[in-house]
Amino acid sequence: MKRSTPIVAGLIANLATRPRGPRPDSTGGSGRRALLVATGAAALLAPAFAMGQAGAQERVVNIYSSRHYDTDRALYDGFTQATGIRVRLIEGDADQLIERIRSEGANSPADVLMTVDAARLERARAAELLQPVRSQVLEARIPAHLRDPDGLWFGISKRARILIVARDWTPPVPLARYEDLANPALKGTICVRAAGHVYNVSLAGAMLAANGAAGTEAWAKGVVANMGRPPQGGDTPQIQAVAAGQCRIAISNTYYLGRLAASSKPEEKAVADAVRVIFPNQGDRGTHVNVSGAGVVRTAPNRNAAVAFIEYLTSVAAQEMFANGNFEYPVVDEVNVHPVVAAWGRFKEDQLNAVAYAKNGAEALTLMQRAGWR
Ligand SMILES: [Fe+2]
C-alpha cells in the first residue's frame, strides 16, 4: 500500500488554490475553452515543476489508454511539465489493452490502465491486472461511490446515462424514471443500442441493485416491447433517430449529445436542437452515472509515477481538460463543466458504488437477453 507521493501532494495543493474561473452557467462558449487550453497546462503547472524534478525517481510512466481525444494530449504534456516524468502512451480498444497486459505478464511495461466504464475497469480488476493504491489525494478528491473501495481503480470523469426526447413531444404518460420506459403507453417510442453494450449492461446492473432480478427482467421486457426499432448502432444514431422522428426517446450517455451540440456541422447541431434531456429518477435514487477511470497495473515498473499520474488527473486543471475534452462531468466537485454540459442543468446522481453495478453486469445482461433485448 502506498501513500500519496510528495510530488503530487504539492502539485494538487498548488492547483487547488488556483483562482477559480466563472461558474459554468455564467461562462461563454468557445472563448473559455481556448483560455483553458492556454492556461491549463503550461502556466498553472509551472510552479510544481521543480518539486517534481526533486521528488521523482521514475522518469517515465507508461499509460495504456482506450481514451483517444486530442485534449488528452494536453493533459499528458501538463503532467510532464509539472513533474518531469515523460508519458509513453499505448492506445487501443479496452479489451485489447486488457488482453495485452495479460499476455505481457510480469514483463508488461504498463503502469496505468485508463478506460471508460466501470464494468471494464472491474473486468481488469477481476483479471487481477490491477493493484491497490492508498492515496490521501485520491480518497479526498474522488467521491467514494466513483472508485473501488480497495483503491484498485479510480473514476476520473463522469457520464450520465439519460433520456433524450424530441423537443416538441409531450409524453402521454409521466416520463421521469428509467422505470417509466416500460409503460405500455410508450409503445414504439424507444431507440436504444444493443443489450450487450457495456453502457446498457451497467445501467441494467444499477436497475438490478434498485429493483431486484424480477423487477429488472420485467423492466427490460417492457423496454423491448416499446422499442421503435431493433437495437442498432451506438448512442449517437439513437439521438439522430429521435431528431428524425423515427423514435421519441433515446437512451444515451450525455457526452454524445454534447458532441452534437458543440459540433461545427450544421446538421449535427440541428439534431441537438431538436431534442431535450431528461435526467431520470430525480425524485428518488438519482440518475445512473458511469466513469472514465484509471488503475495502477499490478506489475507496474514505475509505480510511484503511476500513482503520481492518477493524482495529477484530479487536479483542477487536469479535471477540466479530462472532462471537458469529451463533454463529461469532472469527479472533483468544484471544477467547471463545459458550457454545453452546464446548459442541461444540475442533477442528482445515483450514489450506488460503481463497483456494485459493474459486478451486477453479468446477471443484468442475462436478464436483458432473456427479456428479448438483442
Ligand atoms: Fe462512449
Residues 299 and 337 in one domain: yes
Of 57-61, 143-147, 335-339, which gets the smallest average pLDDT? Answer: 57-61
Quote the ligand 1 centre to 257 CA distance (angstroms).
11
Number of folded domains in the chain? 2
Grid cell 507508461 is found at 62
C-alpha cell at 338: 463545459
Quote the ligand 1 centre to 214 CA distance (angstroms).
28
Q: Does residue 18 form part of some domain? A: yes
pTM listed for this prediction: 0.85
Q: How far is CA 328 from the centre of its chain?
A: 6
Quote the ligand 1 centre to 234 CA distance (angstroms).
8
What percent of the chain has a predicted confidence (pLDDT) above 90?
Answer: 82
Residues 6+ apart with CB under 8 A from 249: 163, 164, 165, 175, 181, 186, 189, 190, 191, 242
Quote the ligand 1 centre to 110 CA distance (angstroms).
23
* pLDDT for the residue numbered 258: 98
Quote the ligand 1 centre to 54 CA distance (angstroms).
39
Quote the ligand 1 centre to 172 CA distance (angstroms).
30
Quote the ligand 1 centre to 111 CA distance (angstroms).
24
Of 34-43, 79-88, 259-268, which gets the smallest average pLDDT? Answer: 34-43
* pLDDT for the residue numbered 162: 98
Residues 149 and 177 in one domain: no
Residues 203 and 71 in one domain: no
Q: Does residue 153 form part of some domain? A: yes
Q: Does residue 68 form part of some domain? A: yes
3-state helix/strand/coil string of 2-28: CCCCHHHHHHHHHHHCCCCCCCHHHCC
Q: How confident is the model at residue 334 (pLDDT cuts 50, 70, 90)?
A: confident
Quote the ligand 1 centre to 98 CA distance (angstroms).
18
Quote the ligand 1 centre to 254 CA distance (angstroms).
9
What distance in Å separates the CA atoms of residue 179 and residue 176, rounded to the nearest whole number?
A: 8
Residues 60 and 149 in one domain: yes
C-alpha cell at 280: 431520470
Quote the ligand 1 centre to 8 CA distance (angstroms).
30
Q: Does residue 334 form part of some domain? A: yes
Quote the ligand 1 centre to 237 CA distance (angstroms).
12
In 10 A of CB 17, how many CB atoms? 9
Answer yes or no: are the C-beta atoms of 154 and 138 closer than 8 Å.
Answer: yes
Question: What residues pair up with 337 in beta bridges, in sequence order?
Answer: none
Q: Is the dihedral of CA 13, 14, 15, 17 positive or negative?
A: positive
Quote the ligand 1 centre to 73 CA distance (angstroms).
19
Q: Is the dihedral of CA 174, 176, 177, 178 positive or negative?
A: positive
Quote the ligand 1 centre to 241 CA distance (angstroms).
17
Judged against a pLDDT cut of 70, whether residue 253 lies above it is answered with yes
Quote the ligand 1 centre to 49 CA distance (angstroms).
33
Q: Does residue 347 form part of some domain? A: no
What distance in Å separates the CA atoms of residue 335 and residue 347, rounded to the nearest whole number?
A: 15
Which residue range forms the structural domain that includes residue 64?
Answer: 6-158+291-342
Q: How confident is the model at residue 40 (pLDDT cuts 50, 70, 90)?
A: very low
Quote the ligand 1 centre to 197 CA distance (angstroms).
10
What distance in Å separates the CA atoms of residue 271 and residue 244, rounded to the nearest whole number?
A: 8
Q: How confident is the model at residue 83 (pLDDT cuts 50, 70, 90)?
A: very high
Quote the ligand 1 centre to 90 CA distance (angstroms).
19
Q: Does residue 1 form part of some domain? A: no
Quote the ligand 1 centre to 299 CA distance (angstroms).
28
Burial of 235: CB neighbours in 10 Å, binned 0-12, 13-18, 19+: buried
Quote the ligand 1 centre to 252 CA distance (angstroms).
9
* pLDDT for the residue numbered 163: 98
Residues 150 and 41 in one domain: yes
Quote the ligand 1 centre to 201 CA distance (angstroms).
13
Grid cell 492556454 is found at 38
Q: Could you report the per-residue pLDDT of 123-136, keeping only the tens digit for each?
A: 999 999 999 999 99
Q: Could you report the per-residue pLDDT of 198-235, keeping only the tens digit for each?
A: 999 999 999 999 999 999 999 999 999 999 999 999 99
* pLDDT for the residue numbered 68: 78
Q: Does residue 274 form part of some domain? A: yes
Quote the ligand 1 centre to 246 CA distance (angstroms).
22
In 10 A of CB 303, how many CB atoms? 20
Quote the ligand 1 centre to 116 CA distance (angstroms).
8
Quote the ligand 1 centre to 198 CA distance (angstroms).
9
Question: What number is the average pLDDT over the span 342-360?
Answer: 97
Q: What is the CATH number of the domain that holds 94?
A: 3.40.190.10
Q: Does residue 64 form part of some domain? A: yes
* pLDDT for the residue numbered 46: 32
* pLDDT for the residue numbered 29: 31
Quote the ligand 1 centre to 253 CA distance (angstroms).
7
Quote the ligand 1 centre to 120 CA distance (angstroms).
12
Residues 228 and 303 in one domain: no
Quote the ligand 1 centre to 3 CA distance (angstroms).
32
* pLDDT for the residue numbered 3: 44
Quote the ligand 1 centre to 193 CA distance (angstroms).
12
What distance in Å separates the CA atoms of residue 96 and residue 29, rounded to the nearest whole number?
A: 37
Residues 109 and 142 in one domain: yes
Residues 21 and 138 in one domain: yes
Residues 216 and 365 in one domain: yes
Q: Are strands 60-65 and 154-166 parallel, antiparallel or unpaired?
A: unpaired
Residues 196 and 82 in one domain: no
Residues 19 and 117 in one domain: yes
Residues 359 and 320 in one domain: no
Quote the ligand 1 centre to 57 CA distance (angstroms).
36
Question: What number is the average pLDDT over the span 240-245?
Answer: 98
